Structure formats: C-alpha cells, structure tokens
Amino acid sequence: MSFDLVLFGGTGDLAWRKLMPALFQAFRHGTLPQHGRIIGVGRDDLSDDQYRAQIRARFDDVELAKRPSAEEFSRFAALLEFVRMDLSRPDDYARLTAALAQRHADTVVMYVATAPSLFTTVCEQLAVAGLNTPQTRVVLEKPLGHDLASNRAINEAVLKVFGEKQVFRIDHYLGKPAVQNLFALRFGNALFEPLWRREHIANIQITIAEELGVEKRGAFYETTGALRDMVQNHALQLLCAIGMEPPINSHADAIRDEKLKVLRSLKPWTPEALTQDVIRGQYSAGTIGGSPVAAYREEAGVSPQSHTETFVALRTEISNWRWAGVPFYIRTGKRLAGRDARIVVNFRPTPHAIFNSQIGVANRLVINLQPKDGLELHLLAQGQNNRQSTSASAQTLLPVQLDLDFDKRFGTERVGAYERLLLDVIDGRLNLFVRSDEQIEAWRWVEPILEHWKNDMQGPRLYAAGTWGPSASSAMIARDGYCWAEEC
C-alpha cells in the first residue's frame, strides 16, 4: 500500500518532538508501510535536503536508544520531502496539489499539527483544491476548540468537506500501551470484570502529574489552562475507558458508542458541587529536584496577575446502574512532586474483618501510564512473624504486591503512543480516535466549570512547586473518608 503523509506544521514543535521520532521508530520496526512518503509543510524556504538536515539535527535530542544511525537515517530521509506553504494563502495549496499529483498514493493523510485557529482554514482550502478525496484522511490535534461553541464550529466546518470516518481526532493517551492493556484487562480476561462495579469498588483516582512547568509555552498556556489542556480530553478519555460497558465487538463505533454513554452519564454540576468538588491551583516558586524554580506568574509570556490554573482536582460520579455512588477523582497539574500518570482502583474492604491490618486500603489495582508502564495489584498477606500465632484475630496482615512491568515483559516489542496512532491512521483504524459527539459531550460537561471560574474573583489557590498541589485537593477527597494514593 502506498501512502503520502502530509505534516502541516512540519517544522513545528510537535513534528520535531513526537511525530518524526514516532515515524522513524515505525520505519525501524518495519511496520511503516512500504511505498510511503512524508511531506513536511511550512513557511520556511527549504529544499528537501535542507529539511532532511533539520530533521537529522533534531534527532540529537531524542533519547539515545531511539536515535538513528547514519545508515538508518539515510534510508529514512529518502521518504522526506518539503513543500513551502503559507496556509492562509489559497494559492499556495497548488504547490501541495502538484506534489501529490507526482504519484497517486492509495492513501493520503493530512496531519494538521498547527494552531487550532488554522484547522478550519486548512480543511476548507483542501476542499477548494480538490484534495478532500475519498482516499484522504485528516488528523486534528488537540485542543479542538476553546469551549463548546468553538468546538462545534470547527467540527461543523470540517464535516462539511470530510466524512466522519475520514476525521481522526487524536488523543495520544489512548495510544499508550498501558491504556491498551486496560481494555485488554477488562474485556479480554474474566478475572476483573465481575468486580468492576459499585458493589466491589470504593473509589477510582486518575492522576496526571508533571514536574515540568509551562517551559516556553507560557503565552499558549495563558489561553488554555490545565482544565482545557488535560481534563477535557486526556483525563475524560481515561475515565471513559475505566467506566464504559463492554462493547458488542472491537469495531470503532461500538467502542465509541460506549464511551459516549459514560460522558452522557457524568453527574451534572450544581452550584454547591462547583464550589466544593472542583479545586483549581497555580504553582508558586518552589524546588524541583533540589533546584529552585520560578512561580507560574514569573514565566515568560504569563501575566503577573494571571488567574490561569496550572492544577485541577475534581470529584465526579457516573450516574448509572454500574457506578452509582462511586466517586471518581481526577487530578492533574504542572510543577508537582513527580512525573506520574496513573489510575488507582481502590476496592472495598472485606465485609467482616477476622485479621488485624496495618493499612487503610486492603486491595487496589494501579494502572501505571508514565514514567512506569504496567500494572500493580496490591493485596494483604500473612507475614512470617505470625507463625507462632494461634488466633486468627491476633494475626496481622501485611501489604504485598504483584508488579507487572510491561517494558521488562515485552521489551523491544513495545510501541509508543504516537507510533501506534500514526500507523492506525494510515491503515484507517478509528478505534483509538475521538468521535465528534464525544468531544461535544466532554465540552458540555466541562463548560459549567469554566463559567463558574469566570465569576470567581478569588482565583486559583497557590501551591509551592514540588508539592502535590493545594491542600484543598486533599481536603476534598478526605470529605468522603478517602485519601490520594501517595497519602494513604
């Protein structure tokens, strides 16, 4: 199968950091289809060889094991071409038309890795140029809009010129191996699914924590914030994967239908819940790894009076038969105590205790997303110091865990998130991409929080960089009698 992959924003940050390294790994693994071509698009006046040289230089920043040798890059570079375009100028699309006409690839992927304000323009101009053929697929990066209205406007404009099955709205968290194994854990094994319900689960926690600040993206982050950047997409997609009912099969729409039901079942916000169950924070100066770091308001491109949140913690519920009454806690932030993305499923205690226990949470399943990738099952077991005990009530159980590290188990067989998703786009598999009605429901649920914050003059709570966020986050979960995993 022949393919052309067009990278709008081919000289941008996402292309350098994520897309090109992922494409090279697919090339190295032999999974990138043969007869392919990768066309970078940008404003720079570059020849093909100059573009290849820029890409080669950027690979010096990739972790050592993923860097190409000179011979490997020479073969990979043969796939790379460059087309100079100003995406706001209709006449420039003729250059892309001419490049694609050099051969008629079986599949053409248009990856729009640009500012969201250009999504509509690019799609409309592709249609004007006659490049929205049945063989064309378009990939849209997040954030897809700034609120519900802008998301609707973008989707409506895109769907005027492309069919829904041609639009791949990417959320790279769905491509993470641990998320794939969450689906396998639930729907490929008989062990956990009977327990995956309110009768056995006390609460579920989703944490996406970063040590990094906003780096050089202060101006972008000022208009985005943690709620739009992480909760509306990544965190809610993880919640859907945890909470959805088993689909009737593994087809894309069967999976996405079940995720949509979860989003529609999220408990509506009330004024009281918006005040008590949503915590926003912003990092102040602190210490990361023993080194001092600046406050968010001191970052380049950030207003000294900024009310933009760099941390969000919230409590919600899925109002359906399976999950009624089970709290779901979501937490994400920058400049936190560690880089840690995980899902923690806390099971209920035994209904009648016959042993002593030294810990509050008896059983929990931890799905590690980053930097570690794998599963942990926490149990209680009898320690050797109990050998002389004759009474069960006198015996003390101690915590033990089963730990499955996917990187150690599967090694070089592991496929990164963007690598998997790019291959899925080329092959036309929509399972791991977000449908437009999912996005609408996610924005509909998030929008009351945004409206509440507009009228909240108090602003975000400050927290010192290098901590786990505002103390109000711990107080919120403590009202239910629970604690965040690292605090228990």
Which residues are known catalytic residues?
A: 234
Rounded Cα–Cα distance for residues 308 and 459 (Å) = 8
Torsion-angle region of 400 (φ positive above 0: left; ψ -120 to 50: alpha; else: beta) = beta
Q: Which residues of 41-71 are buried (b: 16+ CB within 10 A; e: fewer)?
A: bbeeebeeeebbebbbeebeebeeeeebeee
> Which residues face 462 on adjacent strands?
282
Alpha carbons 415 and 178: distance in angstroms, whole number: 11
User: Is residue 97 classed as helix, strand or coil in its secondary structure?
Assistant: helix
User: How many angstroms separate the CA atoms of 40 and 9, rounded?
Assistant: 7
Task: Give the residue from 235, 229, 112 showing the smallest Cα distance to 173.
Answer: 235
d(CA 12, CA 33): 24
| Widest Cα–Cα separation across the chain | 87
Q: Please give the single-letter amino acid code of residue 70.
A: A
- The letter for the amino acid at 391 is S
- Tell me the C-alpha distance between 105 and 358, whole Å: 64
